Amino acid sequence: MFKFKRKARKVETPGVSDKPQDTKRAMKLFINLLMQNKVRVLIVIAMAITGSILYTLIPWYMGEAIDHVIALIDQFGIGNFTIDDVISVIMNPIIALLIVSSLSFVVSFIQERMMAYVSEDSGSHLRKMITDKMVRLPLRFYDDVKVGEILSRNAVDIERIAEILVVGFNQFLSSFFNIVIGLGLMMWMSAQLTLIVLVLIAVSTYVTMVISRKSQDSFMENFATLGVFNSIVEEMFTGNMLIKVFNQQEDSIDRVIAANEAHDKAHLKAMFMNYAIYPAVRFLNQIAFIVSAVFGGLLAIRGSMSVGVVQAYLQYVSQVSEPITEASFIINSFQASLSSIERVYEIIDMDEEVPDVSNPQFPEVVEGRVEFNDVSFGYIYDQPIMNSVNFTAKPKQMVAVVGPTGAGKTTLINLLMRFYEVNKGEILFDNINIKDMTKKDVRSLFGMVLQDTWLFEGTVADNIAYGKKDASREEVIAAAKLAQCHEFIEMLPQGYDTLISSDASIVSQGQQQLLTIARTALTNPPLLILDEATSNIDTITEIKIQKALDEIMEGRTSFVIAHRLSTIRNADLILVMDKGNVVESGNHDQLIEKEGMYADLYNSQFVNA
């Protein structure tokens, strides 16, 4: 975590939730995750039990060796026996110790190895689940959730879960069985003394539980502030040019500082609660050891216990108290893992897109007729932003959608593509309700050129062929020529084999737009959607592109969203939208004659200019 030296102005950092997590549900999710590797987990548990049994044998054999030496002293007196006599009486316990220690190493190795497999597989399983989920989530999820928050859950939280599996869960199992077996032997050796120790252990456990509860909320706040911080930093990096254009560097830095300070405070609080438990439990364990040593010594003096047994008992006290310290520390850290697994499953459990019908329909012959019949929609169901929209786009018509910013143009396209489901009414494609078609079939009918370009890391040819992986190089070149981008591609260092990064810095914004148009042209779709398709292209290039687009749209039903009304004067149908509704419709001449909103928009761009 990095810090900034200068003081920040106060900036709010929303999104921090201090709501306690559902521990029972998180535990259930954690167990279900473990059960993905049931056999390996059972092997780990078996090795943990075996390892604990072997661990408890070591003090016993050491005590036996000590008692044999004391018996030798009692028999011959101090200085009246040789080293060979000592070796002869401790040989068997020493051999037993070596065997037990070797077996303990083998068992521990198997346990660690198996748990590493479980951790790796569980992390991979969660990443696959969350990746698969991302594909099935509706568009509204990406509208509502920031990229930094998604990345935090997909990377930081899953890594934390994997870490607690490979380290924490392993240690917890060993600690648990060490405590159970150790207490059993202690009760057998001296029930009265063990009861005294148990009282101190109970106090230690209570302290652990109190601090663990308090740390739970701290970890939730820590993760929430981390998500906010990641989102702000991501915005700062991606919008760096815009920030500089408007001289907002100071404000951006202040936002980062404020988010960092909020996370810093939450992190320090979480770490304090996480580590506060260790010295508290250690202190109580030391008291338990001292009490055991004093009372054990008295029992040895009275002859109730041998010195070797007292020595073994004291080691069992450490064997029980040390795992309690470790277990309490692990349990406290486990709170972070529970928070992480709950955050991951918040995404996995989110509502997906409306499932496709069991018996989908598809037109036998694609004509391209699109009808909106009494369509109403709202991003919040009971707050409609689109009311009773009606229009018909006939096959091979060019339909233009115009209107001021926020009028609902993009919303209309999102409904047409089934990115959102209508609240009321129906959308028909060749007389088939699009709800009766699969979303894949609906979207396969459309080629879309968006205002915001998107290119992935790969060659220029790969980017053009994104929608048609099996396209030949000749087909790619033909599409590029149609989109007026063949010439500039040939001027690139390796032509069509030139590698471009995900930010496409090697090509200009206008050239990126040309490549996306070529990508759409290559797929040869029956319908087209052009969402501000020429908004990032200069006027001269726009004329060339418009000619190419006219050729692409020939014989296809096309929907064009544009602010430049010069590009849609030849449209067969123009839909004028305002506040989510279609307020006017007709061709250019008809709408000019109406002298309504379209005429005002047109005149403001051309007549006044």
> Which of 89-93, 162-166, 270-274, 586-590 has the largest mean confidence?
586-590
pLDDT, residue 434, reads 92
- The Cα-based distances of 422 to 150, 216, 361, 383, 387 in angstroms read 27, 41, 19, 13, 11
Q: Is the pLDDT of residue 368 over 80?
A: yes
Strand partners, 576: 402, 584
When pLDDT is averaged across residues 341-353 and rounded to a whole number, the result is: 81
Separation of alpha carbons 513 and 531, rounded Å: 11
From the centroid of its chain, how far is CA 595?
Answer: 52
Q: Residue 300: how many CB atoms within 10 A of its CB?
A: 17
**Nearest partner of 431 among 377, 356, 359, 365, judged by Cα:** 365
Separation of alpha carbons 417 and 186, rounded Å: 71
pLDDT, residue 268, reads 83
Cβ neighbourhood burial of 381 (10 Å; 0-12, 13-18, 19+): exposed
pLDDT, residue 160, reads 80
pLDDT, residue 181, reads 87
DSSP per residue over 225-283, as a string? HHHHHHHHHHHHHHTHHHHHHTT-HHHHHHHHHHHHHHHHHHHHHHHHHHHHHHHHHHH
Q: Residue 74: how many CB atoms within 10 A of its CB?
A: 9
Separation of alpha carbons 452 and 513, rounded Å: 8
Query: Which of 1-10, 93-102, 457-466 is predicted least confidently?
Result: 1-10
Q: Residue 164: how many CB atoms within 10 A of its CB?
A: 24
529-550 confidence digits (pLDDT tens): 887 655 556 667 667 667 767 7
Percent of the chain with pLDDT over 70: 86
Amino acid at 433: N
Q: Is the pLDDT of residue 230 over 50?
A: yes
Query: Which of 242-246, 249-253, 261-265, 436-440 is predicted least confidently?
Result: 242-246
Enumerate domains of the chain plus CATH numbers.
24-348 (1.20.1560.10), 370-605 (3.40.50.300)
424-429 and 432-433 beta bridge pairing: antiparallel
Confidence class for position 326, pLDDT limits 50, 70, 90: low
Where b means 16+ CB within 10 Å and e means fewer, 390-429 reads ebebeebbbbbbbbeeebbbbbbbbbbbbbbebbebebbb
Percent of the chain with pLDDT over 90: 12
pLDDT, residue 469, reads 84
When pLDDT is averaged across residues 507-524 and rounded to a whole number, the result is: 84
pLDDT, residue 338, reads 77
Q: Is the pLDDT of residue 552 over 80?
A: no
When pLDDT is averaged across residues 218-224 and rounded to a whole number, the result is: 76
Confidence class for position 432, pLDDT limits 50, 70, 90: very high
Separation of alpha carbons 169 and 448, rounded Å: 49
When pLDDT is averaged across residues 408-425 and rounded to a whole number, the result is: 88
123-181 confidence digits (pLDDT tens): 888 888 888 888 888 877 777 777 667 777 777 788 888 877 777 788 888 888 888 88
Separation of alpha carbons 285 and 272, rounded Å: 21
With beta carbons less than 8 A apart as the criterion, state whether 219 and 22 touch.
Answer: no
With beta carbons less than 8 A apart as the criterion, state whether 417 and 442 touch.
Answer: yes
pLDDT, residue 435, reads 92
Confidence class for position 79, pLDDT limits 50, 70, 90: low
**DSSP state, 580?**
T
9-60 confidence digits (pLDDT tens): 333 333 333 333 577 777 888 888 888 888 999 999 999 999 888 888 888 8
> Sheet harboring 398-402: ordered strands across?
446-449, 527-531, 557-561, 398-402, 573-578, 581-586
When pLDDT is averaged across residues 507-517 and rounded to a whole number, the result is: 81
What pTM, to 2 d.p., does this model score?
A: 0.62
Separation of alpha carbons 441 and 437, rounded Å: 7
Q: Which residue has the tokens 């004028």?
A: 576
> Tokens representing 6?
């200068």
Confidence class for position 216, pLDDT limits 50, 70, 90: low
For the chain, counts of helices (H) and of strands (E): 20, 12
Task: Please indicate whether residue 238 or residue 490 has the higher confidence score (pLDDT).
Answer: 490
pLDDT, residue 9, reads 34
Q: Is the pLDDT of residue 7 over 60?
A: no
Query: Which of 96-105, 255-264, 450-459 is predicted least confidently?
Result: 450-459
Q: Is the pLDDT of residue 609 over 60?
A: no
Cβ neighbourhood burial of 34 (10 Å; 0-12, 13-18, 19+): middle
What does the mean pLDDT of the chain come to?
A: 80
Amino acid at 597: M
Task: Please indicate whether residue 193 or residue 556 has the higher confidence score (pLDDT).
Answer: 556
From the centroid of its chain, how far is CA 50?
Answer: 37
When pLDDT is averaged across residues 82-103 and rounded to a whole number, the result is: 81
